[in-house]
Amino acid sequence: MDEETSNTFKSGFVTMWGRPNVGKSTLLNTLVGEKVAIVSPRPQTTRNRVMGICEMEEGQIVFLDTPGILKKPKQKLDEYLVKSARTCLRDADVVLFVVDATSQPHGDDRRAAKLLRPLNKNILLVINKIDIADIPNLEERIDQFKQLGDFAGGVAVSATARINIKMLVDKILDLLPENPAYYPAGTVTDQQEKLSISEIIREQTLLVIRQEVPHGVAVVIDELTPRSNKLTYISATIFVEKPTHKQIIVGKKGEMLKEIGKVSRENIQKLLDTKVYLDLWVKLVKNWRKDENALRRFGYK
């Protein structure tokens, strides 16, 4: 009996769910052990379904990161994000409902929890950011979140400080079905190279710019060409919605765009394991988040 149990292998899909900016993407990167999702302090950074794979002797966990759940979609892009997130719920064996320990449950948490109620799936409550939650009674805060739904269990974690991450993985494995691995050993993500590169550039654009630029930023890879075994040429366009946003991203004498290019190139070189020559351009497409044709062009449809 013990020998049979020790040979059991589990695998399945686990969807990260919750309102914007609770740390889902950071948690995904921590669980996988590599950076597969972009992270920024701005809400609604995740736009595409991002898959990351955590593998161990006992099983393989396929995580699906989702865009944060919005109150009500205001634009075509928002509608796409909500649809993408709900598709990930449909595919899940387990759902991680991720919340932020630094604040009390509010409307967006309740709305995200309400969308889970019709599901016949195991849902784990994950209370994130406990390392910076400056409250006298963490247990009371956790109890407030527990009241939002019928959960199969819960774990208080810190994605950045790696607190209770092993405990969370163990609880997920307990809920997954017995299955062979879905992906070959060593697979970290299913993201295509061009998407990964465009996401790196979009992340660095959001991080480098200190002034308030809304999420009207999209990145398209125009060319990705190996010039030799040691050099890859990349041309990419950063699309914005307003002339003022273009001015901010380009910066005085192009200095801001140069900085975005510098940090992006460093991260892309780590991804491709080769030297990179990166050409960046900035173009204006007014109100592209409301334009069906632009959304398709930028890969959101």
pLDDT digits (tens, 9 = 90+) for 76-105: 666 666 666 677 788 789 999 999 999 999
Label residue 45 by pLDDT band (50, 70, 90): very low
| Long-range Cβ contacts of 273-279 (<8 Å, 24+ apart) | 274/226, 274/229, 274/230, 274/231, 274/232, 275/230, 275/231, 275/232, 276/231, 276/232, 276/233, 276/234, 277/227, 277/231, 277/232, 277/233, 277/234, 278/234, 278/236, 279/233, 279/234, 279/235, 279/236
Round the average pLDDT of the chain to a whole number and report it.
Answer: 83
As assigned by CATH, the class of the 2-175 domain is alpha beta
pLDDT of residue 44: 45
> Residue 3: pLDDT above 50?
no
Q: How far apart are CA 34 and CA 32, in angstroms?
A: 6
Burial class (CB in 10 A: 0-12, 13-18, 19+), 255: exposed
Q: How far apart are CA 45 and CA 206, in angstroms?
A: 9
> Residue 43: pLDDT above 90?
no
Burial class (CB in 10 A: 0-12, 13-18, 19+), 117: exposed
Q: Which percentage of the chain shows pLDDT scores above 70?
A: 82
Q: What is the mean pLDDT of residues 196-203?
A: 85
Give me the CATH code for the 193-297 domain, please: 3.30.300.20
Q: What is the mean pLDDT of residues 198-210?
A: 82
Label residue 37 by pLDDT band (50, 70, 90): low
Break the chain into its structural domains and give their ranges: 2-175, 193-297
| Model confidence pTM above 0.85 | no
Structure tokens at 242: 């307003």
pLDDT of residue 162: 93
Q: What is the mean pLDDT of residues 256-274?
A: 90
Structure tokens at 284: 């204006």
> Residue 46: pLDDT above 80?
no
DSSP tally for the chain: helices H, then strands E: 10, 9
pLDDT of residue 190: 64
Distance separating the N- and C-terminal Cα atoms of the chain:
50
pLDDT of residue 123: 96
